Amino acid sequence: MPPAPPIRGRFAPTPSGPLHFGSLVAALASYLDVRARNGEWLLRIDDLDQNREVTGAREAILEDLAALGFHWDGPVYAQHDRGQRYREAVDELLAKRLAFPCACTRKDIQEQSDPGEPVAIYPGTCRNGLPSGKEARSIRLHVPDQVIGFEDEWVGPTHQDMAREVGDFVIWRVEGIASYHLATVLDDADAGITRIVRGADLLDSTPRQILLQRLLGLPTPAYAHFPVVHAEDGRKLGKQTDAPRIDTSQPAKILSMALAFLHQSPPVTLASAPVEDVWQWAFRNWAPQAIKSPLP
Ligand SMILES: [Zn+2]
């Protein structure tokens, strides 16, 4: 194995739908971020929840990225065969008493938590052992009374009061599925990812992921979150809103739109230029400071 290069980013689409405009922006932002630093760009399929996978979606995503001129380093990798790795991390946290089995249903938690809170914070019911006669439904992280802060390169300083705003969160479900947070932290660490560029909808997930990195002794990558793409009705443009598959028949046009969304001000003529010209322009003019705008 050659020594790991210092800069490595990734794009991790979920195969629950096609590549839509929001995911294209995510791919482009992380791509330009690492390529501008001569770094590597890895492609991971986040297929943790197999029930949500749409047949043909992963092939379509790869096809669309290739059609637009993205080049990824190494083979495309997936999460579904990493269950053993995830479970080992859960066992490590359980052995260190940093996690505990929980029998509570969503309804139990709702009933036991402070009704004045906007989100039901886990009240700690099973922290010191399962109530008698109850079986574990999940494994939760024992979240310390701690504020986790980090410097987001585009958003700025970000903090979260873990005990009050998050509470003990689920890292494993008894059906044998790791939580998104645990899986993504382990995947990023094992792949040597040093830079994570993604939409601001994941900003408040980041302190949870940093906490997991610290508890598992993993390095924390640099983070940069960009404003989220919204549909015309103001909802987040994503799978939940059935965002349409991007049209790759005019690659220069769709890439120019994504560049404009990232405040890169591409010249209007670029939309009808050969796609190679768009990439050349994008690499030469990449200005991440332009993205540092207030969150929507
Ligand atoms: Zn519980």
How many other C-beta atoms are found inside a 10 Å radius of the C-beta of residue 241?
14
State the distance from the centre of ligand 1 to the C-alpha of 100, rounded, in angstroms: 9
Is pLDDT above 80 for 114? no
Which element (helix H / strand E) includes 44?
Answer: strand 40-45
- Mean pLDDT of the region 278-290: 95
List the alpha helices (DSSP H) in the chain. 21-35, 57-67, 83-95, 106-112, 180-190, 206-215, 251-261, 275-285
Position 63 scores a pLDDT of 97
Position 117 scores a pLDDT of 74
Quick: pLDDT tens for 160-184.
999 999 999 999 998 889 999 999 9
Quick: pLDDT tens for 128-155.
999 999 999 999 999 999 999 999 999 9
State the distance from the centre of ligand 1 to the C-alpha of 98, rounded, in angstroms: 15
Strand order in the sheet with 8-11: 8-11, 40-45, 77-78
State the distance from the centre of ligand 1 to the C-alpha of 110, rounded, in angstroms: 11
Is residue 171 a contact partner of residue 182, using CB atoms and an 8 Å limit? yes
Non-local (6+) Cβ contacts of 126 within 8 A are: 100, 101, 102, 103, 104, 134, 140
Quick: pLDDT tens for 77-87.
998 889 999 99
φ, ψ for residue 9, nearest 5 deg: -115, 180
pLDDT band for position 296 (50/70/90)?
A: very low
Quick: pLDDT tens for 245-254.
999 999 999 9
Return the half-sphere exposure (C-beta side, CA atoms, 13 A cut-off) of residue 12.
22
Three-class secondary structure of residue 55 per DSSP: coil
How many residues are given for the chain? 296
The DSSP output letter for 253 is H
Position 81 scores a pLDDT of 84
Q: How far apart are CA 117 and CA 47, in angstroms?
A: 32
Q: How far apart are CA 86 and CA 71, in angstroms?
A: 28
Both tokens assigned to 19: 């590549």
- Distance set, CA 132 to CA 94, 128, 141, 170, 173 (Å): 19, 12, 21, 21, 20
State the distance from the centre of ligand 1 to the C-alpha of 123, rounded, in angstroms: 8
User: How confident is the prediction for the chain on average, in pLDDT?
Assistant: 91
State the distance from the centre of ligand 1 to the C-alpha of 149, rounded, in angstroms: 27
State the distance from the centre of ligand 1 to the C-alpha of 168, rounded, in angstroms: 9
For residue 269, with 0-12 CB atoms within 10 Å meaning exposed, 13-18 middle and 19 or more buried, which class applies? exposed
State the distance from the centre of ligand 1 to the C-alpha of 138, rounded, in angstroms: 8
Q: Which of 12-16, 96-100, 233-237 has the lowest mean pLDDT?
A: 233-237
The pTM assigned to this predicted structure is 0.91
State the distance from the centre of ligand 1 to the C-alpha of 281, rounded, in angstroms: 54
Both tokens assigned to 71: 């080049």
Q: How far apart are CA 105 and CA 122, in angstroms?
A: 11
Is pLDDT above 90 for 294? no
Is pLDDT above 70 for 28? yes
Quick: pLDDT tens for 217-233.
999 999 999 988 766 55
Is pLDDT above 80 for 203? yes
Position 216 scores a pLDDT of 98
pLDDT band for position 240 (50/70/90)?
A: low
Q: What is the DSSP string of 145-186?
A: S-EEEEEETTTEEEEEEIIIII-S-EEEETTTEE-HHHHHHH
State the distance from the centre of ligand 1 to the C-alpha of 231, rounded, in angstroms: 37
pLDDT band for position 119 (50/70/90)?
A: confident
Position 295 scores a pLDDT of 46
Nearest to 158 by CA among 202, 191, 114, 193: 202
Q: Which residue has the tokens 């050349």?
A: 280
